[in-house]
Amino acid sequence: MSMMADDSSVFSVRKTPFDTSYAQQVLYSHVLNAEHALLLLDELFIIRYANHSAEQLLKTPQPNLTGKKFEYLPQPPQDIVNIELSDTAGTTRILLAKFLKIDACEPIVYLVTLHEITGQSDSLQVGDVFEELMQRVCDQLYQCHTTEEIARQVSGFFDQLLPQYTGALFITSAMSNTYQLATTGDNAVSAMPKELRQTDCRALQSGKLHFYSPDSPSATRCNHLPQEFCGAALCVPIGKHEELLGLLHLQSSTGIIEQHIHNTISRLSKILSIILMNIRLRELMIINSPLDATTGLFNRYLSEELLKRELHRTQRHHRPLSIMLFEIDQLVDLTLSSNNAIREFLLSSWGNYLNNQFRDDDIVCRYSDTEFIIILPETSLKDALSRAVTLQEDAKSLEIVYHGHDLTPLTLSIGIACFPKHGNSTEKLLAAAKAALQEAVNRGRNLVFLAHETGKGLP
């Protein structure tokens, strides 16, 4: 099978065969209530809706925006573009537009987030190394598509710009009511909690910046600070109070955090709120849409529900069930290198292949950024192993070319688990498959490993 990229691959539209009305309601509700300026575009880049913040930022009422083509398009593989606007008085403003391709909401295809950056570059002074580094971090953050990419950039921000402080980033998701520790700087000297609840932090409770110093008689200490901590602490929420997305936290052992550091963290928080808002919307669309937008496969949320259903049916009829959890080894490298255009094309091509390859009874899903899962009802461990080896061989024979760049041969690292041998619940079966996949990765990739039989890797 041969798959070739054309010039429209970055903005290709995948049609979906299911009712999209509820997903549309989720999208419009999110856009209507968002604090950021948002536009909804169709596949021809016609503006279908602009929220109130967009009207204010563009200084144009909604009726004068809808129905007009959005002329400012990024050059693939980029998904951001700078817009220069001039008014009748000759005043020029610079806006940054970030595109997010969404699925299952036809006729809406793109969400565009607008953010004013007028004067940011002009404010740089010769020799102002801190501001130059800050601008570079901001530019890199705008290119992030996942929380993992954000965590890497923020960790570098702490290490490069604030080496004298202990910094941390906490992020929540659409399916959680806690804030998970995403990253700290390498210079962290005190233990950070792995997760926070809203009641643990004054900033999360109020939705406003909170500063604590033992020298201030009116200072209120956050519950998440270690008892032995006696320095200054700064907590800055990410997002608006009604829908917080995360928290930036900074500690100083000296008891001092200067005002310009307060301003820097607040600025970083505003940028993160834009990026995390797009990720949150993608999560909400995944929950309310059964297909992954890039591959056309079932998404993780649905895969786990389907696995529960199939496992219940298997237990009732006393039949075997196997799962394959696997990674495309080359896709992992592309993800680490942040080569998004090639990665998206490879994912789309692989999704098309898998959709046409398996029986109707098999359930093929995208499980994470780099992982796929195949649920094989009524399939023994022996048959699952045979099918895994066949899948490896077929992957090597694929021809996938992106603008003259050959992405093949593809190799797969696969972990296999079978009910009831490796687990009698969804959680145990998934954990067994993940452990087997990790063993395949640790042993050099391009291997198949069976759960709990880590001495039996097959090339």
- Tokens (6 digits) for 210: 């909170």
The one-character DSSP state at 162 is -
- Tokens (6 digits) for 267: 């600025």
> Helices in 358-425 by DSSP H: which ranges?
381-397
Check: CB of residue 71 under 8 Å from CB of residue 92: no
Q: 129-286: what CATH class?
A: alpha beta
Q: How far apart are CA 233 and CA 196, in angstroms?
A: 15
Starting at the edge strand found earlier in the chain, the sheet holding 80-86 runs 47-50, 37-41, 110-116, 92-101, 80-86
Looking at residue 448, its pLDDT comes to: 95
Check: CB of residue 366 under 8 Å from CB of residue 372: yes
Long-range contacts formed by 308-311: CB under 8 A, 24+ apart = 308/426, 310/363, 310/375, 310/377, 311/419, 311/425, 311/426, 311/429
User: Which residues 6+ apart lie within 8 Å of 121 measured at CB?
Assistant: 135
> Helices in 143-200 by DSSP H: which ranges?
147-161
Looking at residue 123, its pLDDT comes to: 44
Please classify residue 315 by burial: count the beta carbons closer than 10 Å to its beta carbon, then call 0-12 exposed, 13-18 middle and 19+ buried.
Answer: middle
Looking at residue 22, its pLDDT comes to: 59
> Helices in 223-367 by DSSP H: which ranges?
259-288, 300-317, 329-336, 340-357
Packing angle of the helix pair 21-33, 259-288 (nearest 10 deg): 160
Q: Which residue, 35, 141, 164, is CA-closest to 133? A: 141
Single pTM value for the model: 0.60
Specify the domain boundaries for CATH 3.30.70.270 within the chain: 290-458
Give the residue carrying structure tokens 């009524």.
378
Specify the domain boundaries for CATH 3.30.450.20 within the chain: 19-116
The one-character DSSP state at 10 is G
Looking at residue 19, its pLDDT comes to: 41
Distances (CA, A) of 90 to 61, 86, 118: 20, 6, 14
The string over 68-79, giving b where at least 16 C-beta atoms fall within 10 Å of a residue's C-beta and e elsewhere, is eebeebbeeeeb
Check: CB of residue 101 under 8 Å from CB of residue 27: no
* Upper half-sphere CA count for residue 173 (Cβ side, 13 Å): 15
Q: How far apart are CA 32 and CA 401, in angstroms?
A: 41
- Tokens (6 digits) for 330: 């080359």
Q: What is the 3-state secondary structure (H, E, C) of 185-244?
A: CCCCCCCCCCEECHHHCHHHHHCCCEEECCCCCCCCCCCCCCCCCCCEEEEEEECCHHHC
User: Cβ atoms within 10 A of the Cβ of 269, count?
Assistant: 20
Radius of gyration of the chain (CA): 24
CA angle, residues 325, 437, 155, in degrees to nearest 5: 100
Q: How far apart are CA 249 and CA 35, in angstroms?
A: 22
Q: Which residue, 168, 281, 183, 300, is CA-closest to 233? A: 168
CATH number of the domain located at residue range(s) 290-458 in this protein: 3.30.70.270
Please classify residue 325 by burial: count the beta carbons closer than 10 Å to its beta carbon, then call 0-12 exposed, 13-18 middle and 19+ buried.
Answer: buried
Q: How far apart are CA 212 and CA 236, in angstroms?
A: 12
In the chain, the amino acid numbered 386 is S
- The fold of the 19-116 domain, in CATH, is Beta-Lactamase (3.30.450)
Q: Which residue, 267, 209, 269, is CA-closest to 245? A: 269
pLDDT, tens digit only, all 459 positions of the chain: 555 554 333 333 333 333 445 567 778 877 887 888 999 999 899 999 999 999 999 999 989 999 999 999 888 767 888 899 887 778 889 998 989 887 667 788 889 999 888 865 544 444 477 778 888 888 889 888 889 999 999 999 998 889 889 999 999 987 788 999 999 877 665 578 999 999 999 999 999 999 999 887 677 899 999 888 889 999 999 998 778 999 999 999 888 899 989 999 999 999 999 999 988 887 777 666 677 878 888 888 788 888 998 998 898 888 899 999 999 998 877 766 656 778 888 888 998 899 888 767 899 999 988 899 999 999 999 999 999 999 999 999 988 888 888 888 899 999 999 999 999 899 999 999 999 999 999 999 999 999 975 444 444
